[in-house]
Amino acid sequence: MEAHSISVHPLTGDPTSAWKELSKTQKVIKVNVKIPSKPVERDKIRFVCMSDTHSLMRNMLFDIPPGDVFIHAGDFTKCGQKDEVIQFNKWLETLPHKHKVVIAGNHELSFDQKFSDLFKKKVTSQLGSEENEVLNYGNTKDDILDAVREDDIKQYLTNCVYLEDSGVELYGIKLYGTPWQPEFGGWAFNIKRGAECLSKWNNIPDDTDILITHSPPLGHGDLVCSGVRAGCVELLLTVQQRVKPRYHIFGHIHEGYGVSSDGKIIFINASTCDINYVPKNLPVVFDIPLPEGF
The reply on whether position 106 binds ligand 5GP by CB under 6 A is: yes
Nearest of 7, 20, 4 to residue 219 by alpha carbon: 20
Q: Which H or E run includes 204?
A: none
> What is the rounded distance in angstroms from the CA atom of residue 176 to the CA atom of residue 203?
10
Nearest of 213, 182, 208 to residue 195 by alpha carbon: 182
**Window contacting ligand 5GP (CB under 6 A); options: 85-93, 142-150, 155-163, 252-260:** 252-260
Say which entry of Mn ion, ligand 5GP, none residue 131 contacts (CB below 5 to 8 A, set by partner kind): none
The β-bridge partners of 162 are 102
Q: Which of residues 132-171 bind ligand 5GP (CB under 6 A)?
A: 137
Contact residue for ligand 5GP among 68, 112, 146, 255 (CB under 6 A): 255
Q: Which H or E run includes 100?
A: strand 99-102
Say which entry of ligand 5GP, Mn ion, none residue 244 contacts (CB below 5 to 8 A, set by partner kind): Mn ion
Nearest of 255, 254, 261 to residue 51 by alpha carbon: 254
The reply on whether position 248 binds ligand 5GP by CB under 6 A is: no
Say which entry of Mn ion, ligand 5GP, none residue 275 contacts (CB below 5 to 8 A, set by partner kind): ligand 5GP
Say which entry of Mn ion, ligand 5GP, none residue 222 contacts (CB below 5 to 8 A, set by partner kind): none
**Total interface residues for ligand 5GP by CB under 6 A:** 15
Looking at the Cβ atoms of 98 and 192, the one nearer to ligand 5GP is: 192
**SS3 at position 273:** strand
> What is the rounded distance in angstroms from the CA atom of residue 111 to the CA atom of residue 131?
25
* Chain residues in the site for ligand 5GP (CB under 6 A): 52, 75, 106-107, 137, 182, 184, 224, 228, 230, 252-255, 275
